[in-house]
Amino acid sequence: MFDRLQKPFLTVETGEAYQPLRLTYVIYQKEKLLEILNKQDCLVKAAGGDSWSWFWKAECNDVHFESLDSFQRNSDHPVRLGTLTVKGDSLYINLPSFKRACLSAPFFHKLIDPEVACVHHVDFINKVFAVDERLPHGFTELFKEEELERILQQRVLEYHQIQEQCEKAETAEEALDLLEKYTTVESKKRLPYAERYIFDLHAEVESDIVFLSFYIFLRGRELVAIKRWFGNAGYSLADAVDETVEQVFGGMDIDILE
């Protein structure tokens, strides 16, 4: 334990834990998307191919987390927040931290009309890395499509099973008891190394609500990874969600996008 406390986890330039993610968008109008991306001053296109570096400047200069306000920004050398790549009918946004994912999702949703391209899912890692730990080489090594889909489908199946049990319950109290037991078991499960989160953007739900739910989902997993890194093995996802919801709705020190 002492060794772990003396061995900090890897962070990115702006201070967040290094936890790589990949946002995947479905492209409906490729030429229109390329036109939009090439017009942005915060996106610098790489030589050859459809890929860009996304910098913390220009169009996204004012978007930030309160927790990053103390970061000393240099306008002459803006921070590279992530990279974008268009391959076939997909746009990939690769990012090194959960907070940057929570920043990027609403930013690009406002920038890109959903009829041109729309975010579908994000793949992410449920751990933090030691400063001297060997890092996975590229997202192909990090994210195995078959395993991510297997975990996702298992979670969906379990959700539908408990939903069916609740609907068949004879009383509301019985249904609530079933749901409480389900959430308790889920919150204590060991999180998989990599996971997939599916976005549900449709007309009936405001996008702000969708992205707030995304923040709470990711922030909970970030807290679990960090707390367990420092030896708090009993810290559960339920604890993390309670703490995050309290920050968002119950306190003044809100660590979330403005």
At 142 the pLDDT is: 67
Dihedral sign for Cα 217, 220, 224, 226, please. positive
At 252 the pLDDT is: 43
- The larger pLDDT score, comparing residue 254 to residue 244, is at 244
**Pairing relation of β-strands 51-55 and 80-87?**
antiparallel
Facing residues of 43 across strands?
54
pLDDT, the chain, mean: 80
DSSP state letters, 231-244: T-TT--HHHHHHHH
Contact between residue 148 and residue 195 where contact means Cβ atoms under 8 Å apart: yes
Q: Is the pTM of this model over 0.95?
A: no
Contact between residue 33 and residue 98 where contact means Cβ atoms under 8 Å apart: no
pLDDT tens readout for residues 226-252 = 988 888 877 887 788 778 777 766 554
C-alpha 190/C-alpha 222 separation (Å) is: 14
C-alpha 145/C-alpha 95 separation (Å) is: 18
Q: Is the predicted pLDDT of residue 132 greater than 70, yes or no?
A: yes
At 235 the pLDDT is: 83
- The larger pLDDT score, comparing residue 17 to residue 249, is at 17
DSSP state of 94: E
Q: 68: closest CA among 98, 110, 108?
A: 98
Q: Is the predicted pLDDT of residue 27 greater than 90, yes or no?
A: yes
CA dihedral 168, 170, 171, 177 (to 10 degrees): -60
For the ranges 52-61, 71-80, 123-132, which has the lowest average pLDDT? Answer: 71-80
At 2 the pLDDT is: 45
Chain Cα centroid distance, residue 80: 18
For the ranges 47-61, 71-85, 195-209, which has the lowest average pLDDT? Answer: 195-209
For the ranges 74-88, 172-186, 193-207, 208-222, which has the lowest average pLDDT? Answer: 172-186
For the ranges 50-64, 89-103, 150-164, 217-231, which has the lowest average pLDDT? Answer: 150-164
- Show Cβ contacts of residue 182 under 8 Å, excluding neighbours closer than 6 positions: 158, 162
At 31 the pLDDT is: 96
